[in-house]
A and B are shown apart, each in its own frame.
Chain A
Amino acid sequence: IAGITQAPTSQILAAGRRMTLRCTQDMRHNAMYWYRQDLGLGLRLIHYSNTAGTTGKGEVPDGYSVSRANTDDFPLTLASAVPSQTSVYFCASSREGSSYNEQFFGPGTRLTVL
């Protein structure tokens, strides 16, 4: 693995189903983030983790949960998907604690909830 990866690339999901989006980075970055991107709304922060073992809520956390059991992985779970969660989801990571560090984005997951 080189950099930051996400899986799946795309997914079509029935409303009410549970779904976990995977994110893995091999850069040993402490901080990781989940954003959703919707046309005309830019990138909105869902959840973040400043270091392994800690997580925090972002701007639009409702309906989503995250965990950070180790440095490399930061999965995002939709417990019961709804159509308004149709979006492109980007995972990102940045180096050890500093607001000045560049955030590196994964390739994104396109999720459609029907």
Chain B
Amino acid sequence: GENVEQHPSTLSVQEGDSAVIKCTYSDSASNYFPWYKQELGKRPQLIIDIRSNVGEKKDQRIAVTLNKTAKHFSLHITETQPEDSAVYFCAANRPTGYALNFGKGTSLLVTP
């Protein structure tokens, strides 16, 4: 997406380690930040999202943090498993309408 930057583009971790993916956005009007997981050959699926009125949200091994002042948000995966291997996309809602601007994706590989 034109105003969402995502890093790193590739990430390799060992099973059981943590993985962190970071995104920044440019439009201060954005207030919704979802994360999607896409397995090879499959469609993107929402795994967690956060709204601008909260700073952190957790769902089992996955957590997302948001810093609105700095305009960045991060995905944290703890105790990684091989099935976590996929491409992860961050996104921010566009200022008009309901569409999203996506980052370019992070290819996560979890090795046993």
Contacts and interface: CB of A to CB of B under 8 A. Distances in A.
Interface of A: 31, 33, 35, 40-45, 48, 50, 56, 58-59, 90, 94, 97-103, 105-108
A107 to B, nearest CB: 5
Contacts, number: 63
A85 B42 CA distance: 20
A37 B95 CA distance: 22
Given A99-B31, A99-B93, A103-B46, A45 B104 contact: no
Contact of B102 (A43, A94, A106): A43
Bin chain B's interface residue count: 20 to 34
Nearest to B104: A42
B89 interface: yes
Contacts of A106: 43
Nearest to A40: B104
A45 B32 CA distance: 17
